[in-house]
């Protein structure tokens, strides 16, 4: 039997690209998202890559429903070998750090950190249960951001939430290492997605001016392929590490 993965935020962007990349590496995929719009396109991408796909409507921030989500995802293909915590939200509005609202802060933390943490907890518990199948490498992946360590004061709440997700990945890596479950953090840089469309002109100019050593936008498919390689176990002697898919954005330069 093929291994299976649960990918949150699966209906577009990095989520869709990850689903397709995982399918190409031999996974069947359960995709979860707030709404079904775009899920058919994700299913088609997974099918084209040779995998089966199931869609589940779910709000990652609704932690009380995580048990039902994991049960449904587990039942879809008889188990889970991989969780990709990809679902994420940005600040309600970019602006002065002194004007950040509690609503925007709580929204970012609720999805990007709290939701990701407790979904990882629920999946890890199930992976450690007696009915867990043995169909390949097992892993949890947290999609954070370059903003996990690079401050952007116009969206401080987002940065805080991604820094929290980064620490969660390290904590789960230590806790699950003895069980053979690897945990990885993916830090995308400036990636061309629907979420970045609103600031495309601004970032294009900065990229062309040398924001990152590789002077172009990153593509969602490049992030997806990195996630799939880790999930497939291509880099076996690592856990808790952060993988920068950012064109060198993270490099300090004089």
Helix (H, G, I), strand (E, B) or coil at 66: helix
Catalytically annotated residue among 117, 142, 158, 217: 158
H-state helical runs in the chain:
13-24, 39-48, 66-77, 102-108, 116-127, 156-176, 200-208, 220-231
Dihedral of CA atoms 198, 194, 166, 132 in degrees, nearest 10, equals: 170
Sign of CA dihedral 234, 220, 181, 142: positive
- In angstroms, what CA-CA distances link 203 with 55, 79, 101, 159? 33, 41, 25, 18
- Can 158 be counted among the known catalytic residues? yes
Active-site residues: which are they?
A: 158
């Amino acid at each position: 039997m093929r291994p299976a993965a649960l990918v949150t935020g699966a209906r577009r962007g990095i989520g869709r690209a990850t689903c397709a990349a995982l399918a190409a590496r031999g996974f069947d995929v359960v995709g979860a998202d707030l709404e079904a719009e775009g899920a058919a396109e994700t299913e088609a991408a997974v099918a084209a890559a040779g995998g089966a796909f199931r869609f589940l409507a779910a709000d990652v921030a609704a932690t009380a429903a995580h048990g039902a989500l994991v049960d449904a995802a587990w039942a879809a293909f008889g188990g889970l070998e991989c969780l990709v915590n990809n679902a994420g939200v940005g600040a309600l509005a970019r602006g002065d750090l002194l004007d950040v609202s509690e609503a925007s802060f709580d929204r970012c933390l609720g999805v990007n950190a709290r939701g990701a943490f407790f979904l990882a907890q629920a999946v890890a518990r199930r992976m450690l249960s007696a009915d867990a199948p043995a169909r390949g490498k097992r892993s949890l992946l947290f999609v954070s951001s370059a903003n996990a360590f690079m401050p952007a004061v116009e969206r401080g709440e987002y940065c805080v939430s991604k820094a929290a997700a980064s620490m969660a990945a390290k904590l789960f890596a230590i806790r699950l290492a003895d069980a053979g479950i690897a945990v990885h953090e993916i830090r995308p840089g400036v990636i061309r997605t629907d979420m970045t469309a609103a600031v495309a002109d601004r970032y294009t100019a900065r990229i062309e001016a040398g924001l990152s050593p590789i002077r172009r936008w990153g593509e969602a498919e490049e992030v997806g392929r990195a996630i799939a390689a880790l999930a497939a176990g291509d880099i076996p002697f690592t856990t808790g590490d952060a993988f920068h898919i950012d064109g060198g954005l993270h490099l300090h330069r004089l």
